[in-house]
Structure 1
């Protein structure tokens, strides 16, 4: 039996989700909602959808009374997630939500508990965790090919889109943080961040009281001594999507923009010869990676979770809650001029 679902929000990313679910043999899109009427018209024309078989509406609440649903896909601004997800779970629907889960870790924790109580799946679209290069990279790290893990660095820069609801930290950082956490199998226990504002110093939010930072430097401190630095900017024409993990015997490089070599192990180590320290064993190994659309894998996994009612461990509400907690700590650090902020353990015991 197909999973009957509604998709709420059909902007740029929502359009990709519509495309994937329409093509999926285990899904039936029965409703599409967006408060912007032009978005509904565009999506209907783009995929030649029949309004007699799919409900198009600007009001999410009307869907519940007009169609039978199993699940809701929420692709709206993060500031709207909490009430929408809470309503959906209380209505008995499974939920796939765009990242971040919410903008407040306390809300995330509440929704995590609610999903458990309702016996419904709450999965977060952390798309990079479904990327074949990221999954192969995790296997490479676990096989010990890097030796002793020492530090990491990443750069995520581009020229627009410039967000007007959140800063570059909340827009971009979650991707690289989630990859580092996934590869290491742990979360940072301390974080630091410093930002620079050029464009929107007059646009202040509770998360960004001094304005929306256009460029941010992030530092993550992990319990076993590993440290990662991330450079984020949305007004830099040097577009980069590159993440590296360095060990005593090599560096693992994930370069998303490299079509032919997205994952490379650059091997090499330092050996002492007398009083000298000499580089040895330097060679480049291109790691084969299967080509597949990560978002399709997200949709596959969500539908499987709905069918079995078993959570996807690496993209669950718990993971989403921890990531929001980390981002909140980084925002606090920026507000305190780069102070080191400790990230406490969260209590998921109510689950």
Structure 2
């Protein structure tokens, strides 16, 4: 029987409370501390989750270095704070699971990756969608050749708020779809291009609408539509191949659909054939619970994360950085150098 991992969570805001719940529920986690700069927030979660007096509640993350037998920390704070918090935790020889993006600078991501290796600590990023049963099943469908040669992909991630004041719609939303495309394709883009529009926050120049295009070495292109100023809430991603399409629609009761169909050429006429549609069954599992399990298992077995590791997190930040450069340069295509 593997020992429980003594954990702490930094940040119990809109997303951090999910991590608080997961750590309290997980059979392999033992919650030792909760950190949040807002003392009222700490009192609120203490009451809501019935936290015992043995759990340290503090507004200062530096307190964690003095907690006996603490082994791991989840960082669920704004991305601008990630670098210093993660660096400190690694220096205290704590394993770290950080919310996405790992940091806002690719150079900082690489530095943290190297620090984790030097400290022999696990550094993992919560790219939750990579643990979604639909994404896991979709990868196996593509690898089986069910949709033939891959041609292009598209994704739409839109809603009406919340409107961020620290990053634009690109940094807020795109990382999910980029992570899925990279995972399904088994490669990273070599060229990136983005255009956008600012309506709400003109002074800070934060785009509310972004159109992004990624080009991969194989020739595959992915087109991504992002907007937090759109009443039509969508979470839809598709890949088109020579024999069919694979659709991941998170808003649907049947999230993953395989739509087969191809052309039979008769003279100069293209006749659709082999058309059928199949709703794919998925494992019943909460993605965030699976993220937690993978992180804890890596600590218990002293193994490197096979999904959503810090190196992959750095790749995604580099892609977002180049997309931002294109966005602010009139939408010119820019080659990626990792």
Name the SS of the counterpart of 1:38 in structure 2. helix
Distance (Å, rounded) in 1 between the aligned partners of 2:220 and 2:268: 28
Which segment is superposed worse, 40-49 or 109-118? 40-49
Residue 245 (str. 1) matches residue 236 (str. 2) = no
SS at the partner of 2:199?
Answer: coil
- The aligned residue for residue 153 of structure 1 is 154
Unaligned runs of 5+ in 2: none
1:297-328 deviations in Å (ceiling 9; x for gaps): 00000100111121222200000000000000
SS class of match (2:292): helix
Is structure 2 residue 9 aligned with structure 1 residue 7? Answer: yes
Instruction: Give the deviation of 1:66 after TM superposition.
Output: 3.9
Q: Deviations over 1:28-61 (max 9, x none)?
A: 11000000122212211111112x2100010111
**Which residue is 2:289 aligned to?**
296
Deviations 1:198-231 (A, max 9, x none): 000112xxxxxxx100010010000000000000
Q: CA deviation at 1:292?
A: 1.2
- In the alignment, the residues of structure 1 paired with residue 51 and residue 234 of structure 2 have an alpha-carbon distance, to the nearest angstrom, of 36
Structure 1 segments of 4+ aligned residues over 4 angstroms from their partners? none
**d(CA) in 2 for partners of 1:270, 1:202:** 51
In structure 1, the residue matched to 2:123 is 122
The superposition leaves residues 244-277 of structure 1 with CA deviations (integer Å, 9 ceiling, x where unpaired) of 0000000000001112x11000100012111111
Correspondence for 2:20: 18
Of 303, 306, 309 in structure 1, the residue corresponding to residue 302 of structure 2 is 309
Counterpart selection for 1:213 from 200, 207, 212: 207
Tell me the distance in 2 between the aligned counterparts of 1:66 and 1:153.
47
Counterpart CA distance in 2 for 1:228 and 1:109 is: 26
Report the secondary structure of 1:268's partner residue. Answer: strand
Aligned residues: 336
Q: 1:183-206: CA deviations, max 9, x gaps? A: 000000000000100000112xxx
Q: Partners in 1 of 2:282 and 2:81 — Cα distance?
A: 36
Superimposed CA distance per residue, residues 162-192 of structure 1 (whole angstroms, 9 cap, x where no aligned partner): 1010000000000000000000000000000
Taking structure 2 as the reference length, what is the TM-score of the superposition? 0.98
Which of 223, 247, 266 is 2:217 aligned to?
Answer: 223
Give me the whole-angstrom Cα distance separating, in 1, the residues matched to 2:278 and 2:183: 22
